[in-house]
Amino acid sequence: MIQDASAMSAATVDPATRRRICLVGPGFRFLGGMSVYTCRLANALVEHHDVSVILLDRLIPTRLYPGGHRAGKALTSITYHPDVTMGPTIDWHWRGQLRRAWTFLREERPDLLVLQWWTAATLHSYLALAVMAHRLNIPVVLEFHELQDPGEAAIPLAARYRRQLMPALLKKMAGALVHNEHDRRLLLDSYRPKDLRHLRIDIAPHGPYDHLPTAAPAPVETVPVTRLLFFGLIRPYKGLEDLIVAFDGLTDEQAQQFSLTVVGETWENWTVPAQAIAANRHRDRITFVNRYVTDEEAAGFYAGADAIVLPYRRGSASGPLQIAMSSGIHVLMYGVGGLVEAVAGYQGATVLPAGDVDALRAALVALPERAHQRFADPHSWDANRAALDRMVDAVAAA
């Protein structure tokens, strides 16, 4: 089991500064980046605060979840720190679970209830929890990871559902957290001023994803090869096809300097990248692992990479990017959304014009002479803790 170095003994923290913070986010049944974020944040906070969690177990009916075939499988090695108080779990259908959540909140009486927001599938449960917290005089904060999942946003009914009910949820909020200035502006532009004017909005940059187990270094190649990696869900907005096109455009001599490993589960029936890989002129230089991998496997893929390539078409934050910075490898990415702010201070980042495949190919060609370099990750969870501290102080003084 992996324990986080940031979550050490609480004995050194002044009890007068400790707060009671309850986080609400997804558990590990529908494993994804938000499952990791909720756990990693709780473990980072527990050194300084009394932390509890309420986990969302089944977000939607399993048959409707894109990764439903792997639901409940043991794919991650990250665990909650023993000092984190585990509250009840909540499924989309509730079935008596809200009563247990009410009892838990009434007994815990947190100074702040923090709801992790990334999908409208949580909206009805978050509204119920917010109503409970309001009755118990517990301040509630929404931590935005994106305003709505891009796949959901393309479904008219889901998009309308969020638009109509989100103001009711925002009305119950004391504050909101976003990961960067780009997302702060996006939040302000997406809702009516009257829905937001009462909110304290603060920025809490995405903390590092340093939870993967240690993997053995990749074997040294007889002939030096620059090892490229694409990692993460394969979806239309991830832009993987741009990388495959750029790789196809390399000359035979250039392609001999590289290996490309693509690791990810296909969502939204987005098979364009898979088709492009199959037809690629340098197919023999590409390894395609088309599934959701375990943490141990992920650690091996990152340990065996010199650079990760993330040609996203949009993005507020990225788990694969955070892992790459924690691993110290090169990052080649389009400069979109909040991702530019996410790599601020990371010396290994090469930010390219959005959608420019020629610039991406040129960046690949320039990489081999410096592929051996490794970089320090400038991020920590201290900024997140500080933002929550400010939020607790602000709502207490309101």
Give 361's contacts (C-beta < 8 A, 6+ positions apart): 246, 247, 249, 250
Residue 146: the pLDDT is 86
**Residue 10 pLDDT > 90, yes or no?**
no
- Examine domains 10-207+380-397 and 226-370 and report if their fold is the same: yes
**Three-state DSSP class for residue 149:** coil
pLDDT for the residue numbered 158: 80
DSSP class of 220: P
pTM of the model: 0.92
pLDDT at 25 over 90: yes
- For the chain, give every domain's residue range: 10-207+380-397, 226-370
Between residues 305 and 150, the one the model is more confident about: 305
Q: Which CATH class is domain 226-370?
A: alpha beta
**In the numeric block, which tokens belong to residue 393?**
């102080």
When pLDDT is averaged across residues 11-21 and rounded to a whole number, the result is: 77
Distance CA 162, CA 184 (A): 18
Instruction: Report the top-level CATH class of 10-207+380-397.
Output: alpha beta
Mean residue pLDDT across the chain: 93
Q: Read off the pLDDT of residues 298-357 as tens digits, 9 standing for 90 and up.
A: 999 999 999 999 999 999 899 999 999 999 999 999 999 999 999 999 999 999 999 999
* Alpha-carbon span 137 to 99, nearest angstrom: 17
190 exposure class (CB count in 10 Å sphere: 0-12, 13-18, 19+): middle
Among candidate residues 255, 357, 375, 377, the one with its CA nearest the CA of residue 309: 357
* First and final C-alpha spacing in the chain: 41
378: confidence class by pLDDT, cuts 50, 70, 90: very high
Number of H helices, E strands in the chain: 15, 13
Query: pLDDT class for 13, splitting at 50, 70, 90?
Result: low
d(CA 317, CA 305): 21
Give the rounded percent of residues in the chain with a pLDDT score beyond 90. Answer: 86
Answer left, alpha or beta for residue 94, where phi above 0 means left and psi between -120 and 50 means alpha.
Answer: left
